[in-house]
Chains A and B, each alone.
Chain A
Amino acid sequence: MSVTTLLHIDGRPVRVKAGSSVAAALHVNGGMGVARTSVTGEPRAPFCGMGVCQECRVRVDGRRMLACQTVCAEGMQVETSA
């Protein structure tokens, strides 16, 4: 049984422990774990980790989702630029 999940963040393959949240995967991906940029271009990163702050919005397989509330699935495509 596989204990890791492979997903893609902005096209880059990222391997995480199975059951990890997309927010955790953003962190593993390196850097600040930026989820998106604000309207004024400021980088935004997961903050509250529990679905309240809305700072962790990403596009998952084409749909806007909260990174901290989404569990990584095999082959998932995550875009942070959206």
Chain B
Amino acid sequence: MDADVIVIGAGIVGAACAHALAQAGRRVLVLDARIGGATGAGMGHLVVMDDNPAELALSSHSTAQWRALAPRMSKDCAYSACGTLWIAANEEEMAEAERKQQRLRAHGIESRLLDGAALARAEPALRNGLAGALEVPGDGILYAPNAARWLLAQGGDSVRIEHAKVDAIADDGTLRLADGSRRTASQIVLANGIEATALCPELPIRPKKGHLLITDRYPDTVHHQLVELGYVTSAHHSDGDSVAFNVQPRPTGQLLIGSSRQFDTTDPAVEAPILARMLQRALDYLPGLADLTAVRSWTGMRAATPNGLPLLGKHPWREKLWLAVGHEGLGVTTAPGSAHLLAALMNGIDPEFDEAPYAPRGLLETA
């Protein structure tokens, strides 16, 4: 097959791009080095985030796409429409929950405020005395590695996958592979996550390490993805280590517990001190976790940009090259919206939301 487009990387973002391009009638070659990445390490929470209008547009467009895909998705993608509960520990955070509701409402996203008693009824495992929560029922979860495989498979004959490592991108857009061979197409999409800077050192992407831990099966312990409202403040520090309460009920009955954020380390080792801080934070909200058995803990690297938005669009000076990188802690959520935007731009069509905030040009000028 002669490909119109080559996508570098078969994580959730590359897979979504290949899927969107195939749907637009393109023949796509996907090159993946099988070194793995964030898609295999993350939580798979599909969540509308509203720190800024661009993040809200991308994440809400994306969660709507996931909901539309969900009925067709294979069972092993483990999609669940569990919704999110943004937990307010005190009155200040409850006021923040109300502001959040207003922002979501202005964007047409349904949500519901729960007072302390309603929260206790919804999630009896939470500690007593919490102020309340904002429930966002349209959020969900999925198992991203299988969702990526499923998206690639939807392309049928239009998507071909080759297991190969790209070593360099020449000035004319030709790709040099690790085995010395070359590949070329009229358009190339860079979607290789944290490895993007190995091929394009000019990209302003830094690793942000995260720890996760999963328990044995304890069905019905919690029902929604639970996140502390304080998460927003702790997750967006650009320096220093932080932890936040974030627990996901897996369809298996297991509990996936996050989350931590650390800059300036590429060491994948599980670090006991940060894991302990993260678990202590989780225990502050769900004291019963202390009696459960943990099965495994691991880490992953998020690809963080200075402004927290992914780089989506044409590379300012590299020929043929399009970027779909820098998705940080939201790439599973935002993969379909990113792919929609990029495929539209690559085909010269107006996307369904404004592309300007993600355009690579601005970031590269300040880099």
Binding site for B on A (CB under 8 A): 54, 57, 63-66
Contact = CB atoms under 8 A, between A and B. Distances in A.
Contacts of A64: 216-218, 292-293
Interface string B208-225: 000000001110000000
A65 B292 CA distance: 8
15 contacts: A54-B216, A54-B295, A54-B296, A57-B216, A57-B293, A57-B295, A63-B218, A63-B291, A64-B216, A64-B217, A64-B218, A64-B292, A64-B293, A65-B293, A66-B293
Nearest to B292: A64
Contacts of B217: 64
A65 B296 CA distance: 14
B222 to A, nearest CB: 15
Nearest to B254: A64
Interface of B: 216-218, 291-293, 295-296
A41 to B, nearest CB: 17
A54 B296 CA distance: 9
Contacts of B295: 54, 57
A3 to B, nearest CB: 29
A57 B217 CA distance: 10
A50 B126 CA distance: 31
A1 to B, nearest CB: 29
A63 B296 CA distance: 18
B35 to A, nearest CB: 26
Nearest to A82: B217
Nearest to B216: A64
Contacts of A66: 293
Nearest to A66: B293
B216 to A, nearest CB: 4
Nearest to A57: B216
Nearest to B218: A64
B46 to A, nearest CB: 25
Contacts of A65: 293
Return the 9 tightest CB-CB contacts between A and B, nearest first.
A64-B216, A54-B295, A66-B293, A64-B293, A57-B216, A64-B217, A65-B293, A64-B218, A57-B293
